[in-house]
Amino acid sequence: MTTLLNTVSVDPNSSRRQKLSERIAGSLRQDFLSGQIVLGQKLPTESQLASTFDVSRTVIREAIAALVADGLLETRQGAGIFVIGHHGHQPLGGPILRQDRSSNISHALNVLEVRIALETESAALAAARRNASQEAQIQESFFEFDRLLKLGKPTGQADFAFHRSIAEATNNPFYVEVLDALGERTIPCDVNSPYAAEDVLSFGYQAGLQKEHLAILNAISASDAAGARDAMRAHLSASQERYRERLRDRRTRYQSAVEAI
């Protein structure tokens, strides 16, 4: 992001000069338009931006607030500032997808319902349309998940990268855009998510996910569109059932506690 590497110069003699925050917002917009800042990218922290532009954090907050209002950025508590759209273009993420991130399992089930509709077809298209580079990227994401799993590290980003690389292999940018709009909600069981729980973060649980991923990868590599579609549906449907099981377990524990009174 070359623009971010330059400080904003202000002519003190200009009676028509814009507020610093507006100048910074305009500078960032140019980075969006030029592709130097891409959809889904996390921006530097407020402190880093303030240092880069040689302004106060208050000025940076004003600039960020303007870009949030424009639908270009989203601030995520505890995570940072992320790009969710481009100037003059309302992102598919819109108000509905950018709603409350409370730790309701119902939210995870809603996301999975959307993903089933979207990703079963993206897997089939990836099997039919992917090129060698795209197939390699899917496989690299698969093995990155495996590497992190063996190290006991969070796998959420690698999991998302696996699904996103399949979307990219459709060669239809809207599949990627929808996944990017869902963002961190795409993989609600990652260790950094409010949906995380000890059972879903266990090695066995995630090894089961990886086995499902392998079925998808094998079908795509074999150019088996129907098999890829079925494998993706089985994977996401199994995730739905795992969440429903957590709800049933919670209800059973509550009932047992009530009966024990």
Of 233 and 242, more confident: 233
Q: How far is CA 260 from CA 200, 243, 251, 256, 257, in A?
A: 28, 26, 14, 6, 5
Over residues 11-36, mean pLDDT = 68
C-alpha 216/C-alpha 225 separation (Å) is: 10
CATH number at residue 66: 1.10.10.10
Above 80 in pLDDT, residue 224?
Answer: yes
Q: Are residues 121 and 197 in the same domain?
A: yes
Please state the pTM of the whole predicted model: 0.59
Boundary of a domain, candidates 34, 55, 83: 83
Quote the pLDDT of residue 154: 82
Is 62 domain-assigned?
A: yes
Q: Closest by alpha carbon to 178, among 100, 70, 91?
A: 91
Q: Which of 55, 83, 111 is the last residue of a domain?
A: 83
Question: Would you state the structure tokens that stand for residue 7, as one six-digit string?
Answer: 């400080």
Q: Is residue 190 part of a domain?
A: yes
Q: Classify residue 217: in a domain, yes or no.
A: yes
Question: In degrees to the nearest 10, what's the CA dihedral of 101, 189, 161, 210?
Answer: -160
Pair 1, 31: CB distance under 8 Å:
yes
pLDDT at 14: 37
pLDDT tens by residue, 125-145:
999 999 999 999 999 999 999
More confident residue, 73 or 257: 73
Q: Which residue has the tokens 């119902």?
A: 106
Tokens of 125: 């298209």
> 231 and 152 in one domain?
yes
Q: In this model, does residue 230 exceed pLDDT 80?
A: yes
Identify whether 142 is part of a domain: yes
90 domain residue, yes or no? no
- DSSP state string for 167-199: HHTTT-HHHHHHHHHHGGGGSTTSTTSTT--TT
Higher pLDDT, 122 or 53: 122
Mark whether 108 and 237 lie in a shared domain. Answer: yes
Both 182 and 115 in one domain: the answer is yes
Instruction: Say if residue 171 is in the same domain as residue 233.
Output: yes
Least confident segment among 156-160, 196-200, 246-250: 196-200
Q: What is the 3-state secondary structure (H, E, C) of 10-57?
A: CCCCCCCCCCHHHHHHHHHHHHHHHCCCCCCCECCCHHHHHHHHCCCH
pLDDT above 90: residue 171: yes
Q: Would you give the distance in Å from CA 226 to the centre of its chain?
A: 26
- pLDDT of residue 20 exceeding 60, the answer is yes
- Assess whether 163 and 250 both reside in one domain: yes
Q: Which CATH number belongs to the domain containing residue 153 in this structure?
A: 1.20.120.530
Across the chain, what does the average pLDDT equal?
79
The answer, yes or no, to whether residue 167 has pLDDT greater than 80, is yes
Distance CA 111, CA 143 (A): 25
Q: Which of 16-25, 106-115, 148-157, 214-223 has the lowest mean pLDDT?
A: 16-25
Residues 39 and 76 in one domain: yes
pLDDT of residue 159 exceeding 50: yes
Q: Which of 21, 55, 83 is the last residue of a domain?
A: 83
Does the residue 92 lie in any domain? no
What's the pLDDT at 90? Answer: 43
Q: Would 94 be classed as within a structural domain?
A: no
Is 68 in the same domain as 171? Answer: no
Quick one: 48 and 107 in the same domain?
no
pLDDT digits (tens, 9 = 90+) for 174-187: 898 888 887 766 77
Provide mean pLDDT across the span 10-32. Answer: 67
Identify which has the larger pLDDT, 198 or 207. 207
Kindly tell me if the per-residue pLDDT of 155 is higher than 90: no
Q: Do residues 47 and 174 both lie within one domain?
A: no
Q: Is the pLDDT of residue 1 over 80?
A: no
Check whether residue 125 and residue 229 sit in a common domain: yes
In this structure, of 5-9, 19-23, 58-62, 108-112, the range with the lowest mean pLDDT score is: 5-9
Residues 229 and 149 in one domain: yes
196 pLDDT band, cuts 50/70/90, is very low
Range of the domain at 179: 100-260
Distance CA 23, CA 53 (A): 10
Write out the two tokens for 230: 């079925």
Name the percent of the chain lying above pLDDT 70.
78
* pLDDT average, residue stretch 208-224: 96
Number of domains in the chain: 2
